[in-house]
Structure 1
Amino acid sequence: MRKTLKALLGLMVAATAISATAQGYPSKPVRIIVPYAPGGTVDLVARVLAQSLSEQMGQPFIVENRAGASGVIGSDAVAKAPADGYTLLVQSPTLVANPLMLKNVPYDVVRDFTPVSMLGSVPMVLAANPAVPAHNLKEFVALAQADPKQYAFGTSALGSPMHVAQAAIKRSAKLDIPIIVYKGTAGAINDVLGGQISAIIDAIPSTYPHIASGKLKALAVTTKNRLPLLPNVPTVAESGFPDFEMVSWYGLWGPAKLPDDVTRRLSAETAKAMHSPKVIARLAPQSFVAAGTSPADFSRHITKEIALYSRVVRDANIQIE
């Protein structure tokens, strides 16, 4: 009987401690790890979120860029961090895709992270250097098939939705052109702007300013329907790749076993931030669709994405040594 009472007392103390932790959270600055170099869409979304959370929660939320190994280094740092809510991760579907494509990824997406909230999603666009003599994806494919040594794709990371989309197009069109991997979006876009590589598939927020200024030209969008932002640009599906559809989404994770109360608090504050007029005004011009979901809804989304990327990686035969 005494052992039972002692055990119950221990559970009550633990529950009280967790509740107190959540009530006092955060009591010091919080790091948000972005596992890529500055300048890409993941970085942009993380910084907009961090600013709002800082204002809402009364402590600094500081973005730390920790690039390398296609997002694995920064993501692994969060997986191994203390589960106290002071080290968080903003990532894309790359977190889901990497274990399907890369050998020896040091974490398990489901086991080693706590899903907090899906932040939102954006369409992607295939954009090329203006000197490339193609006005759409069909023409680009024809050029690359005729003279593959003259063309190359660039991508921000192995396993990113951009990389997977390019690999799927390559396989379907039987293109023999390389996909050059960079440490982040900024480097890839800079090389397309400079003509070192021909084209890139990337998220609208990163590419649209260059398209609007004429420094890049849009050849196709990856969504099911054309975008109001680029009404004259055909979809990939319209360009000879039936049923093709892929968007880039962004989420907030903590390490595994993040206390439930802290997770719920972070999720609620994140939803408030992502639907605030300030954040919507900042991201809506880039076709960003805000989400701010519950942890349970985000977990279900991750399960669906694992199934989707498993199928795409298998069908496109994407294998990375």
Structure 2
Amino acid sequence: MKKQRHHFFRCGCTFAIGVGLAGAIHVAQAQEAWPGKPLRLVVAGPAGGTADALARLLAEGLQQRLGKPAIVENKPGAAGALAISDLRSTGKDGHTLLVIQGGVVSEAPLAYKVHYEPFKDLKPLAQVSRTGLVLVANKDLPVSNLKQLVDYGKSQKDGVVFASYAAGLRGHTSGMQLGQLTGVPMRHVGYKGSPPALNDLMGGHVPLMFDGVTTSLPLIKAGKIKAIAVGYPTRIAGLPDVPTFNELGYPQLAQAGWFAVWSRPDVDPAVQQKIREVTLAYFRQPAVQHRIKEMGMEQGSAATPEELVADLKLAYQQQSALLKSINYQPD
């Protein structure tokens, strides 16, 4: 009887080893088979935007490392819904990927009526960059720092007008939150994207704006607008002399956003892992990091997909609370 038990134990070990080996073979085969055709990088934004620039940078890396063409396709509009719809319909084999900002999941579904489930229909695989907002002002506004801005705002009978790149998103809620924290009445004007808002800022039609660092940075460097404070936990390499809201006593406004490569959740886990590994390895290269900083962003972290989802869920809760505090109603 003892020998039989011993024989059974050995069989069990052999079975377990066989299952483990089969799993390892599946992972190796899946990784080896992918990619079997050109890759599509879908961008939820227009050509020339931040996500587009990151997608084209990633396309270079994927082509170099995988030997397959990587084509960038822009699907702007509908709060990212068009790009997500494309991914949902064509991305099961991992040859269609999405390059978007986390706000498409943590902000847009709260601000607009979307037809996708943000935490079910797509999965972040690898963070490629981190960034924040910057409070910028018309170059002729008689302020040069946040204290002067607060004093100026309180002296204005009707408060201060500020622009954002879209109603209901962080550029909007950050301005309203600044007003809540400082006691300055803030009046919002929403635009369809950064370019028209920045044009009106430069033209003096609006005095202030919360904008992404990437789109404002060239204008700041050219002296066409001026930076007051950065909404990021630390100072940004592209704006080393501009203080953060954290330094100025308003940590609530020092929130980092990030861009990532996403896939459908049902893509083979082995393929997901390969996409993640190739992406992170490419974006760790010093030359690529330098290009990221030139865009006004910081290097992405090696956070796991699970950690990225947890971060998004926290941001979703925070943004939901902010929208309720300003009585915002989705369009």
Q: Which residue does the alignment assign to 1:100? A: 110
The answer to whether 1:186 aligns with 2:189 is no
After superposition, the C-alpha distances for 1:124-166 in whole angstroms (9 at most, x for unaligned) are: 21112213333233444555551558733131x4454333323
- 8 Å Cα contact 1:34-1:63 kept in structure 2: yes
The answer to whether 1:134 aligns with 2:139 is no
Shift of 1:267: 0.4
The answer to whether 1:56 aligns with 2:65 is yes
CA distance in 1, matches of 2:159, 2:319: 29
After superposition, the C-alpha distances for 1:241-285 in whole angstroms (9 at most, x for unaligned) are: 464321221111112311111101100001111101221121124
Amino acid at match of 2:274: R
- 8 Å Cα contact 2:231-2:245 kept in structure 1: yes
Could you tell me which of 214, 220, 236 is aligned with 1:211? 220
Amino acid at match of 1:277: P
Q: Which residue does the alignment assign to 2:41? A: 32
Amino acid at match of 2:73: E
How do 1:5-84 residues align onto structure 2 when only pairs under 5 Å count? 20-84=29-93
Amino acid at match of 2:298: F
Shift of 1:292: 4.1
Q: Which residue does the alignment assign to 1:313? A: 323
Shift of 1:24: 1.9
CA distance in 2, matches of 1:227, 1:320: 32
Amino acid at match of 1:281: H
Q: Which residue does the alignment assign to 1:257? A: 266
CA distance in 2, matches of 1:159, 1:119: 25
Q: Which residue does the alignment assign to 1:278? A: 287
Greater shift, 292-301 or 119-128, is seen at: 292-301
Shift of 1:18: 7.3
**Structure 1 residues 186 and 57, CA gap change in structure 2 (3 angstroms):** farther
TM-score normalized with structure 1 length: 0.82
Shift of 1:216: 1.3
Amino acid at match of 2:119: V
Shift of 1:303: 3.2
The answer to whether 1:154 aligns with 2:164 is yes
Larger radius of gyration: 2
CA distance in 2, matches of 1:53, 1:283: 16
**Structure 1 residues 221 and 121, CA gap change in structure 2 (3 angstroms):** same
- 8 Å Cα contact 1:141-1:175 kept in structure 2: no
CA distance in 2, matches of 1:118, 1:262: 16
After superposition, the C-alpha distances for 1:37-70 in whole angstroms (9 at most, x for unaligned) are: 2333222222222221221111122222211123
Q: Which residue does the alignment assign to 2:305? A: 295
- 8 Å Cα contact 2:176-2:186 kept in structure 1: no
CA distance in 2, matches of 1:229, 1:204: 9
**Structure 1 residues 33 and 235, CA gap change in structure 2 (3 angstroms):** same
Query: Runs of 5+ in structure 1 lacking a partner?
Result: 1-11
Amino acid at match of 2:188: P
Shift of 1:227: 4.5
The answer to whether 1:112 aligns with 2:121 is yes
The answer to whether 1:268 aligns with 2:277 is yes
**Structure 1 residues 34 and 81, CA gap change in structure 2 (3 angstroms):** same
**Structure 1 residues 18 and 179, CA gap change in structure 2 (3 angstroms):** farther
- 8 Å Cα contact 1:161-1:246 kept in structure 2: no
CA RMSD of aligned residues (A): 3.1
- 8 Å Cα contact 2:162-2:175 kept in structure 1: no
Shift of 1:174: 5.1
3-state SS of 1:152 partner? strand
Percent identity of paired positions between Structure 1 and Structure 2: 27
Could you tell me which of 130, 133, 153 is aligned with 1:124? 133
- 8 Å Cα contact 1:81-1:255 kept in structure 2: no
Amino acid at match of 1:216: I
TM-score normalized with structure 2 length: 0.80
Amino acid at match of 1:61: A
Residues paired across the two proteins, number: 307
